Structure 1
Amino acid sequence: MKTFLLLLGLSLTILSCGSGNTGIKDNSDPAATNGDTIRIANDNLEYEIIIIEPGFNSWLLGQPPRGHYGQSYLETKNRMFVSDFNNRVLQPTRHSNNLYPEQINYDVTVDYGYEVNYLLYNYFMYFQDKYKQRLTGGRN
């Protein structure tokens, strides 16, 4: 009887340790659950933009709406911003690794479409405002 109780207690202990992990899985898209994360992906072009920045979504609501700027304007601005941003990544002694952790791979020969350019442009505007940075072509 003592062995049976010991085995039962051990079995319950093992089962109770693992039972807390079930039902917690979250297979949803992070962008749908986290208001401060925006993910844009296109498997055909093999690109992905993930913006994880607290406050970005609420800040974006106060900006000019989609369609306000033309795509060519956004692409031109993004080329300047990406170039300046990437140069700062390469100069860690002059610019913080916390603000400029890694380069942005923005290929000027690829048509990323309006939505990607709109969000990237606005992220750079947000970045400059929040962190008091001035990128080439940005707000004065």
Structure 2
Amino acid sequence: MKKIIINPIWPCLMLCIGLVSCTSQKSTLEVSSEEKAVFDSNDEEPVEIADDETEYEIIIIEPGFNTWLNSIARPEGYYSQSYMENRNAIMVTNWNQRVLNPMRWNPNLYEMQINYDPSIDYGYEVNYKLYNYFIYFQRKYNQRLGPFIPRI
């Protein structure tokens, strides 16, 4: 007859490793006081997103966004166009799903669908401002439009 001896340290060690690896990451965003001040501002200067070559246009009327874009957002050229196109495609899909489900998502936040086709080249400026609007929106309203934390 064979005897199996279980060392009590191994199950405890495995349990501790399992518990440590299962702890959740911090899900709240750290927003600076400067950014909070911009979120609370009433500056309603619209931001027009347009590309003359492709003839696409978006107008964003969101209090504080223009100030945030000019003072807090990463400057143009920081992100590549392909990076922003990939992120925009994900965030537009999630946005549009929320617009179509007003019983689950706040219809005051998600009012209109965004017609964004990832196969169309909207140009750098359109993608830059749309991407930054999504970052602004997520940080201001503590929303997540994708699997990533919206950072600046």
SS for the counterpart of 2:76 is coil
1:112-131 deviation line (CA, Å, top 9, x unaligned)? 01111000000000000111
TM-score by length of 2: 0.65
CA 64–80 in structure 1, closer or farther in 2 if over 3 Å, else same? same
1:86-121 deviation line (CA, Å, top 9, x unaligned)? 011111100011101111000111100111100000
Matched, 1:135 2:145: yes
SS for the counterpart of 2:87 is helix
Matched, 1:49 2:55: no
SS for the counterpart of 2:102 is coil
CA distance in 1, matches of 2:48, 2:148: 23
Q: Which moved more, 1:122-131 or 1:58-67?
A: 58-67
Pick aligned residue for 1:63 from 66, 73, 80: 73
Percentage of identical aligned residues: 57
Runs of 4+ in 1 over 6 A off after TM superposition: none
Between 1 and 2, higher relative CO (CA 8 Å, sep ≥ 6) is seen in 2
CA distance in 2, matches of 1:111, 1:51: 20
1:24-54 deviation line (CA, Å, top 9, x unaligned)? xxxxxxxxxx862111234663421001111
Larger Rg, first or second structure (1 or 2): 1
Question: For the Cα contact (< 8 Å) 1:39–1:49, is it kept in 2?
Answer: yes
Pick aligned residue for 2:116 from 106, 114, 122: 106
Unmatched 5+ residue regions in structure 1?
1-33
Q: Which residue of 1 aligns with 2:95?
A: 85
TM-score by length of 1: 0.70
Pick aligned residue for 1:74 from 38, 62, 84: 84
Q: Which residue of 1 aligns with 2:45?
A: 36
CA distance in 1, matches of 2:72, 2:111: 27
Pick aligned residue for 1:122 from 132, 143, 148: 132
1:47-73 deviation line (CA, Å, top 9, x unaligned)? 210011111122112121110100000
Question: For the Cα contact (< 8 Å) 1:38–1:51, is it kept in 2?
Answer: yes
SS for the counterpart of 1:109 is coil
CA RMSD in angstroms comes to 1.8
